[in-house]
Every structure is written in C-alpha cells, then in structure tokens.
Amino acid sequence: MFQKIEYVKRRTLLSTTLGSGIILFMGNTESPINFLHNTYHFRQDSTFLYYFGIQQSELAAVVDIDNDKVIVFGDEMSIDDIVWMGRQKTLQEKVYDSGLAEVLPLSALERYIKTAQTKGTTIHFLPPYRAENAIRVADLLGINIHSVSREASIPLIKAVVAQRSLKSEAEIVELNKAAVISADMHLLAMKIARPGMKESEIAAAIHQVALSQGGNIAYPIIFTINGQILHNHYHGNVLKDGDLVLNDSGAETELGYAGDLTRTFPAGKTFSNVQKDIYTIVLNAYHKAVGALRPCTRYLDVHKMACLELAEGLKAIGLMKGDMEEAVQRGAHALFFQCGTGHMMGLDVHDMEDLGEQYVGYSDVLLKNTEQFGLKSLRLGKELEKDYVLTVEPGIYFIPELIDRWHSESKFSEYINYDQVHEYRSFGGIRVEDDFVITADGSAMLGKHLALSIEEVEALRNYSL
C-alpha cells in the first residue's frame, strides 16, 4: 500500500469535488472459474484500490460527504477462515493503513444505504463491469439489474477520471517498476526464442518473470507469429526461421499498476529485407509520435502524425499512392493500421476503460469518432496534461480477410495499390510499444531502454544462452 496520507488526500479531493451525497464504492468479489470455490487470481477493483488500497474480496465502502464519514464494510475472518486461509492482517488493520478508523460488517451496508435513501440523499456509484457487482448494486439500491449502468453517477465518473488521470509521484514510481519488469519479460523472450520452439513455451517463460516478481501479468499475453491478429491469445504455433514474432505483454505490480510493452522480432537471427522495410516504417511512426508528446497537444493529433508517417512510408514502398494527408484524413491507412496509437495507462492497462472511453480519452469539446474504421478504436484523443501516463504503439498489420473485403469493394482504391498489397498478404504484423509519462515540457519513457532499433534487436537475437 501507499502511505496513509495518499489515500486520505485522494478521498478528500473527491468529496470536495462532488460536494454532497454518498459515494458508494464496490470492491470486487472472487471470480469463479468452473465452480464457486475454484477462483481466478483475485483482482481488486482499480477504483477501490485507488481510494482504499485494500486487496481483499467482498468489501464495499462509503464516503458519506454530508456526514463527513468514511466507512469500509466487510467481515473479519472467522476461526474456520483462519484454519483454511491462515491468520492475516485483520480488516481493521488494513483499514487503519489506508487512513481510516471505521469498519462495519458487510451486513450493515444495506441499512446504511436504505437510511440515506429515505432521507433523499444522492447515492453516487460507478458502472459495474462485473455481474456480481451489478447484482449487489441492484439489490442495494432497489433498481433493476439492467438499469444499473445507466443509473451510474456521471459526476462521480468525471471526478474519478480527473483524479486517476493525473498520476502522483508514488504512482509513477510504481508504474516505472511495472515497466521495468515488463522490459525484463521482453528481454527474456528475445534471448530465448528459437525456431522450433512453441509459442506457449516462451509465453509461459514471460509469465514466470511477472509472477516471480510477486505481481502478475497486467493482461493476457499476446505472443504470436501472427502479429496481424490484433488480440491473439493463441499460443499453439511453432516458431520457424523467417517468421516475425510479436510479443505484447506487461507486468502488474503488487499494488496493481500496469506495464504494457510490445516488441516484434525475427524468429531467426535476422530480419529479412522486406521485414526491415516495414519495421523501419513502424519505427519512424513511433519516433514521430513520441517526439510530439507534450502537455496541451491533442493525442488525436499525435495519432494522426503517426498515421501519416506510416502512410508516407507505405507510399514509398509502393503500397499506397496519392495524397497521404487526404488518405489519412479519410481513413485509407486503416487497412494497415486498424487501431489507435495509444491509450491511458495506470491501475488498468487501458486505464479506467470501464468508466467510459468518452470520459477518459475525450472531452466535452472533443467527442470520440465512433464511425470511422481505425479512429473508432482510438481510445485517447484529448489534450495531454502533465502526469498523464500513456502508451505509444503504432503498427502495420496485413490482414488477408480485410484486404480481400476492401479490395472487393474497391475501397479507397485511389490511395491503395491492391496488387502490390496482395504480395504482402502473408507478411503478418509489426508493432512496437513503450510507456510514457507526460512531463512539463515533453515526455519521459517509463522503465528502462529495451532493444528497439533493428541493430539492437538483432544483437539480442544473436545472443547465446
């Protein structure tokens, strides 16, 4: 946990922002795998972690602004619990560490809420992303389960987003730690991967690095010779010389902060010339985007710069043609780059995604483009501020099904040389990704330098164990 004062300050700021009412925080419960008592690794809700820091299931908390009270609702362990799970810090002790005094049994929550409701007090709560919490909130507030998300508090969402977006020094230390462990995960992969190995062997080794640091992986590992499949969690292929390997993986620290890095490297010792061409285009887009990071710049514009760089590079090798500014404006480059250049990062790898992308990545004056293919997957568009933490992750992906679909519709044929594109249909995909914090006059990369240039990557690939 962070120091007490950090949690107290966060809650005080939130109370001040909202001004009145009750804020209801739901901690997460255990998630069953295949029966109730066989559960996935427990993950506390990120907003609960942010304001209370307590890693324990079946908690709830109330910040009662009108009565100036903060209460955590939860139960202490019974002797049966101790027999099965061992003596641990008491809930009272954990709550003390997060700067609070009052603890009430979980069963007292319902009466607390009902009493407030009869007085007409507004109960602010966040939209639940877990079904268990949707049921709990519906029961507590007496609303229909399918209305819960709709009735979530917009002022609370906005206040939480405003706070969690600006990372404190302590948080940046933690995010830095996550990025260092993530870099070690990638370093190991680039050192041990060899033709003939199964993707799953290397993915498992990467996973081990995260676990052995006492944390976990921040999201399911993408480790694949089919980098063009964007969310690919299949690990059943065997690496062959000539393949490109895309590794998108990151660590979560003990406190819950995420790292999110991507590298693409040759399964053999060197890139082919064609692979070098595409890799260089992606790398240029990466440097273009990184160079543009600073307060007051819209990330939407950073994204467009990256897209333009990709398009110009693709034009130079004959895959695109015509006016690239216009092509990017209209979305033609999205045949090769179907997603966004980056996203906010923090306690969630896509930070606060469950609170709504419009609130997290856009603003009242900049609405998300939910129509244009490519742009609709850009999670972050608004002006950057000092202490935002985000990713930069351009890529080029040749997706045969998408190429065929667009070609059959002659989509953007004024910008795309389909005949040349077809020669790349089995190329695969390339992405590179690092994590950055926005500083007063630019940005700083989190973690440590991880082989990025063609020379650096090939040097690691020639490393012998």
Least Å distance, CB 17 to a copy of itself, is 22
Least Å distance, CB 121 to a copy of itself, is 26
Q: Which is nearer to a copy of itself, 282 or 451 (CB)?
A: 282
49 phi/psi in degrees, rounded to 5: -60, -40
Least Å distance, CB 439 to a copy of itself, is 27
Least Å distance, CB 268 to a copy of itself, is 21
| Cα distance between residue 226 and residue 233, in whole Å | 10
The CB density around residue 370, as the number of other CB atoms within 10 Å, is: 9
| Cα distance between residue 274 and residue 148, in whole Å | 52
The half-sphere exposure of 253 on its side-chain side, counting CA atoms within 13 A, is 23
Least Å distance, CB 181 to a copy of itself, is 12
Least Å distance, CB 212 to a copy of itself, is 4
**What residues contact residue 211 under an 8 Å CB cut-off, 6+ apart?**
217
Q: Which is nearer to a copy of itself, 207 or 288 (CB)?
A: 207
For residue 193, how far is the Cα from the chain centroid? Answer: 26
User: What DSSP assignment string belongs to 107-158?
Assistant: GGHHHHHHHHHHTT--EEEPPP-SHHHHHHHHHHHT--GGGTTTTS-HHHHH
Q: Which is nearer to a copy of itself, 99 or 227 (CB)?
A: 227
| Cα distance between residue 464 and residue 160, in whole Å | 48
Q: Which is nearer to a copy of itself, 231 or 449 (CB)?
A: 231
Please, what sign has the CA dihedral across residues 180, 185, 188, 190? negative
Least Å distance, CB 29 to a copy of itself, is 8
Q: Which two tokens stand for residue 127?
A: 């939209």
Q: List residues binding a copy of itself (CB under 8 A).
A: 31-41, 43, 45-46, 79, 82-87, 129-132, 134-135, 145, 198, 200-201, 203-205, 207-209, 211-214, 219-220, 226, 228-232, 234-236, 338, 347-350, 352-354, 399, 401-402, 405
96 phi/psi in degrees, rounded to 5: -60, -40
Q: Which two tokens stand for residue 276?
A: 């070098």
3-state secondary structure of 396: strand
The CB density around residue 302, as the number of other CB atoms within 10 Å, is: 24
Q: Which is nearer to a copy of itself, 354 or 434 (CB)?
A: 354
Least Å distance, CB 37 to a copy of itself, is 7
Q: Which is nearer to a copy of itself, 125 or 271 (CB)?
A: 125
| Cα distance between residue 198 and residue 389, in whole Å | 34
**What residues contact residue 20 under an 8 Å CB cut-off, 6+ apart?**
65, 66, 122
Q: Identify the bridge partners of residue 238 per DSSP, sorted by sequence position.
A: 198
| Cα distance between residue 320 and residue 420, in whole Å | 9
Q: Which is nearer to a copy of itself, 2 or 219 (CB)?
A: 219
Stretch (H or E) spanning 246? strand 244-249
Q: Which is nearer to a copy of itself, 99 or 356 (CB)?
A: 356
Q: Can you state the angle between helices 454-461 and 169-192, rounded to 10 degrees?
A: 60
Least Å distance, CB 27 to a copy of itself, is 12
The half-sphere exposure of 207 on its side-chain side, counting CA atoms within 13 A, is 12
**What residues contact residue 212 under an 8 Å CB cut-off, 6+ apart?**
none
Least Å distance, CB 415 to a copy of itself, is 19
Q: Which is nearer to a copy of itself, 28 or 153 (CB)?
A: 28
Q: Which is nearer to a copy of itself, 101 or 405 (CB)?
A: 405
Least Å distance, CB 8 to a copy of itself, is 24
Q: Which is nearer to a copy of itself, 158 or 386 (CB)?
A: 158
Least Å distance, CB 108 to a copy of itself, is 20
Residue 387 burial (CB < 10 Å; 0-12/13-18/19+)?
Answer: middle
Q: Which is nearer to a copy of itself, 239 or 293 (CB)?
A: 239
